[in-house]
Structure 1
Amino acid sequence: MLIRQKLITHVVLLVLGIQLGFSALLYYANTQVRAQRFAQRLTHSATIAGRLLARTHQEAPDQVSRLRLNDLLTLPQEQISIYGPDRRLRYSSSGSGTPVRSRAGLDSLQPGQVVIYPSSDRRETVGLALAQPQGVYRVFVSAEDQLGWTQVRQLGWLLGGLNVGALLLAVGAGWLFASAALRPVARLTQQARRISVTNLGHRLPEGNNRDELAQLAQVFNTMLAGLEQAFAAQSSFLSHASHELRTPLTTLTGTLETALAYDETLPAARQSLARSLEATRHLSALTNGLLNLAKADGALPAFTLVRLDECLNQALEFVRTKYPGREFRLSFGAFPTDTEADLFMAPGNAELLTAALLNLLDNAGKYSAGPVLTELAYSDAHTLRVQVRDSGPGLSPDELRQIYEPLYRATGAVGRPGYGLGLPLSQRVVQRHGGRLELVSTQGQGTTAIIWLPAAPL
């Protein structure tokens, strides 16, 4: 079911429920008021009939039977029955009798008491006991409230008609309400249909920037901005990857073709083989870097508790071997001293964490003109921090914004070995471990790479 139909249905059901509830309450209240009002009229009629009988009995007892129906009849189809102190029927306007036919029933009607009996075929009966000097007279009056029931029926028809009209109005109001409420959604839908892979720069209208639809549009726009950046990064990655892969492949192919066509001596053939081997190693290193990057983006093995200081020491041993003329210093910053648990423990994958740290140290050793300073510490009780600081040429703000793109190389990297995959790999490894990598750099003064990782509970 469409949202428009749901809104219309909910509005109609809500209005109809309120109308029916109000109508039922009004109808019930009207019937109760009618019953009370008619009971009062019957009581009044019974009181008059009883007093008239008592007065007639005092003046001429033999005149009681001469009371005519028309003398007392004031209500439609009214019937009156009067019992004297001796509990004998003194007067009856018809032979139908009363709802009380036993002596015990008459005795239960005490002076001053009014009893309303259940109605039968819309005939309602009231019993009244009047105390007179001659004794207690018991008067029963029954009648049909034709006018009252006619008014009740008219009220029922009126409420039914009003409910039908209210239902039609509710449908119309629901349609108008749904149309007005969904108009911004229709605009968002229309604008969203125009967005595709080729024009991710389009954005949804955010309206008044305050209501829920504006918040939804803002979320979509943020998502579109992320998608646009992701597609741009993917395009840049494919462009750089194709270029980087094409170069060693072209070199390798050209060298082998030249060797096959022109190398006739062993020294010439060995020289061609050496060039081919160099191009093959270049291609292999680039391919391994791309595979590692894909591995960091894929499913990771189950995490275990890893000693981050051991991962850092392994990475330091490798770079000290690779850069024998470069000094790598390790220091330990603040750490908890009031615990017996092992320090510098973090949940993760030791191989990936070592690779991430190795990439940062390799970059520092590659570009630094002086010692590389590394510090391992606790940022707080729940967070480990690793800092790698070099004294290289530094990065510009524009380079810092692009440095995490795969295969991107800064200006200072020209002429130096590398493929622009180490830093993106380190960033993704750290992110997959629930941490954060940040570069702080000043041109001419060096760069500091800072990693924050969740620490194991102490």
Structure 2
Amino acid sequence: MLIRNKLMLRFTLLVLAIQVSFSAFIYYFNASTRAQRFEHRLSTSAALASRLLVRTGKLETGQLGSLRRNDLLTLPDEQISIYGPDGALRFSSADNIDQEPNRTRLGELQAKNSVTFTGAGRREAVGTVYRHEGEPYHIFVSAEDVPGWVRLHQLGLLLLVGNVGALAFTILAGWYFAGAALKPVARISRQAGRISATNLGRRLSEGNGRDELAQLAYVFNNMLAGLEQAFEAQKSFLAHASHELRTPLTTLTGTLETALAYDTSLPEARQSMTQALEASRHLNALTSSLLSLAKVDGSLPKFEAVRLDECLNQALSFARAKYMGREFRLSFGDLPEETETDVFMVDGNAELLTTALLNLLDNAGKYSAGPVQAELGYEGPTTLRVRVVDAGPGLSAEELSRIYEPLYRAAGAVGRPGYGLGLPLTQRIVQRHGGRLELASVVGQGTTATVWLPAA
């Protein structure tokens, strides 16, 4: 079911329930008021009969005098019956009155001063006790409240017609207001339907910028901005990767073609094979780096408790072996005073963490003009920090803003080995472990790379 139909249905049911409840209250209140008013009129008629007949002693003599029986009747189809102290019928306003309902309530009147009951059809009756000279007289008066029932019937008909008309109006109003409320949603749906992979730069209208739909459009626009950035990064990555892969492939192909066409001696062939092997190794290293980057973006193996100090020591060993003439120093920063477990434990993958730390040490060893300082410690009670400081040429602000782009290389990296994949790979590994990587650099003074990871 459409949301518009759901809103209209719920709105209609809610309003209908309120209308019916209010109408039922009005009808019940009027019905109760009519019954009370008519009961009061019956009681008044009984009191009048008691004063005119019992008090004057006319029942005892059996003579009404100038008073006729019909003179006591003031209500439509009224019937009056009076029973004496002995329970015998002393007076009735008509000879054809059914006295059985009255006689059955004589005993009830002994304990109560009045009773109310209904007779055949819509006849309503009241029985009261009137004491004259210490003797109880039981007076029953019944009649039909014809005008009252007519007014109640008219009220019920009026409420029914009013509720039907109000229901029709509510349905129309619900349809209109539901459509008006969902109109921005329809607009957002149309705008979103026009956005595709070829025009991710388009954005949704955020309306008044304050209500929930504006917040939805704002969130959707942020998502589009993220997708656009990811698509642009992917396009840039593919362009750079294609360029980087094309160079060693062209070198390898050209060397083999030249060797096949012109090499006639074994030394010449060995020289061509050496060049082809170097190009092949370059291609293999670049491909491995690209695969590592793709692997980190995919699903990772299940994390387990890892000693970060062991990962850092292993990375230092690899860096020292690669840069024999470079000094790598290790120091420890602030540590927790008391702990029940190993202070350097983190949840993660040891191989990936070692790779991330080795990339930082490799960059420092590659560009630093002096010793490389690595520090392991705590920043806060639950955060481990690894800091790598070099004395290299440093990076400008513009270079720092692009340093995490895959295959991007700063101006100082020209002529040095590398593919521009180390820092992007390191950043993604750190982020997948719930941490963050930050580089601070000053041109001519060096670069500081800091990694924060949550302690286990």
> When the two structures are superposed, what TM-score results if normalisation uses the length of structure 2?
0.96
Name 1:221's counterpart in structure 2: 221
Q: Secondary structure at the match of 1:300?
A: coil
The alpha-carbon deviation at position 179 of structure 1 amounts to: 2.1
Q: Secondary structure at the match of 2:450?
A: strand
- CA 1:211–1:251: 2 relative to 1, 3 Å: same
Name 1:195's counterpart in structure 2: 195
Name 1:237's counterpart in structure 2: 237
The alpha-carbon deviation at position 340 of structure 1 amounts to: 4.5
Name 1:97's counterpart in structure 2: 99
Name 1:170's counterpart in structure 2: 170
Name 1:122's counterpart in structure 2: 122
The alpha-carbon deviation at position 62 of structure 1 amounts to: 2.5
Name 1:357's counterpart in structure 2: 357
The alpha-carbon deviation at position 313 of structure 1 amounts to: 0.4
1:386 aligns to 2:386 (yes or no): yes
Q: Which moved more, 1:50-59 or 1:264-273?
A: 50-59
Equivalent residues, number: 454
Q: What is the alpha-carbon distance in structure 2 between the residues aligned to residue 365 and residue 30 of structure 1?
A: 96
Q: Does the aligned pair in 2 maintain the 1:84–1:137 contact within 8 Å?
A: yes
- CA 1:409–1:353: 2 relative to 1, 3 Å: same
- CA 1:111–1:226: 2 relative to 1, 3 Å: closer
Name 1:80's counterpart in structure 2: 80
Q: Does the aligned pair in 1 maintain the 2:59–2:91 contact within 8 Å?
A: no
Q: Does the aligned pair in 2 maintain the 1:439–1:448 contact within 8 Å?
A: yes
Name 1:185's counterpart in structure 2: 185
AA matched with 1:100: N
Name 1:13's counterpart in structure 2: 13
The alpha-carbon deviation at position 69 of structure 1 amounts to: 3.7
AA matched with 2:376: L
Name 1:329's counterpart in structure 2: 329
- CA 1:111–1:358: 2 relative to 1, 3 Å: closer
- CA 1:273–1:111: 2 relative to 1, 3 Å: closer
1:54 aligns to 2:51 (yes or no): no
Name 2:346's counterpart in structure 1: 346
The alpha-carbon deviation at position 314 of structure 1 amounts to: 0.4
The alpha-carbon deviation at position 53 of structure 1 amounts to: 1.2
AA matched with 1:411: A
Q: Where does the alignment leave 5 or more consecutive residues of structure 1 unmatched?
A: none
- CA 1:351–1:343: 2 relative to 1, 3 Å: same
Q: Deviations over 1:319-378 (max 9, x none)?
A: 111111111111100001323421201111100100010011111111111211111001
Name 1:44's counterpart in structure 2: 44
Q: Does the aligned pair in 2 maintain the 1:333–1:376 contact within 8 Å?
A: yes
The alpha-carbon deviation at position 442 of structure 1 amounts to: 2.1
Q: Does the aligned pair in 1 maintain the 2:125–2:143 contact within 8 Å?
A: yes
1:137 aligns to 2:143 (yes or no): no
Q: What is the alpha-carbon distance in structure 2 between the residues aligned to residue 59 and residue 226 of structure 1?
A: 103
The alpha-carbon deviation at position 110 of structure 1 amounts to: 4.8
- Indicate the percent of aligned positions where both proteins have the same amino acid: 67
AA matched with 2:408: Y
The alpha-carbon deviation at position 67 of structure 1 amounts to: 5.7
Q: Which moved more, 1:93-102 or 1:274-283?
A: 93-102
Q: Secondary structure at the match of 1:115?
A: strand
Q: What is the alpha-carbon distance in structure 1 between the residues aligned to residue 239 and residue 379 of structure 2?
A: 39
Q: Which moved more, 1:191-200 or 1:112-121?
A: 112-121
Q: Where does the alignment leave 5 or more consecutive residues of structure 2 unmatched?
A: none
The alpha-carbon deviation at position 112 of structure 1 amounts to: 8.1
Q: What is the alpha-carbon distance in structure 1 between the residues aligned to residue 139 and residue 400 of structure 2?
A: 106
Q: What is the alpha-carbon distance in structure 2 between the residues aligned to residue 58 and residue 74 of structure 1?
A: 20
> When the two structures are superposed, what TM-score results if normalisation uses the length of structure 1?
0.95
Q: Does the aligned pair in 1 maintain the 2:27–2:155 contact within 8 Å?
A: yes
Q: Deviations over 1:178-202 (max 9, x none)?
A: 1221122222222222221111111
Q: Secondary structure at the match of 1:183?
A: helix
Q: Secondary structure at the match of 2:384?
A: strand
1:29 aligns to 2:29 (yes or no): yes
The alpha-carbon deviation at position 92 of structure 1 amounts to: 1.4
Q: Does the aligned pair in 2 maintain the 1:50–1:138 contact within 8 Å?
A: no
1:191-340 alignment runs, 5 A limit:
191-340=191-340
Name 2:451's counterpart in structure 1: 451
AA matched with 2:238: L
The alpha-carbon deviation at position 4 of structure 1 amounts to: 1.2
Q: Secondary structure at the match of 2:374?
A: strand
Q: Does the aligned pair in 1 maintain the 2:372–2:389 contact within 8 Å?
A: yes
Q: Secondary structure at the match of 1:101?
A: helix
Name 1:420's counterpart in structure 2: 420
- CA 1:119–1:334: 2 relative to 1, 3 Å: farther
Instruction: List 4+ stretches of structure 1 deviating above 3 A.
Output: 64-69
Q: Does the aligned pair in 2 maintain the 1:376–1:386 contact within 8 Å?
A: yes
Q: Does the aligned pair in 2 maintain the 1:85–1:134 contact within 8 Å?
A: no
RMSD of Structure 2 on Structure 1 (CA): 1.8
Q: What is the alpha-carbon distance in structure 2 between the residues aligned to residue 41 and residue 177 of structure 1?
A: 51
The alpha-carbon deviation at position 98 of structure 1 amounts to: 4.9
Name 2:404's counterpart in structure 1: 404
Q: What is the alpha-carbon distance in structure 1 between the residues aligned to residue 170 and residue 268 of structure 2?
A: 94
Q: Deviations over 1:244-274 (max 9, x none)?
A: 1111111101100110110001111011000
Q: Secondary structure at the match of 1:143?
A: strand
Q: What is the alpha-carbon distance in structure 1 between the residues aligned to residue 351 and residue 59 of structure 2?
A: 125
Q: Does the aligned pair in 2 maintain the 1:56–1:63 contact within 8 Å?
A: no
Q: Deviations over 1:84-141 (max 9, x none)?
A: 1222101112331152325xx4254259822112454211110010111272211001
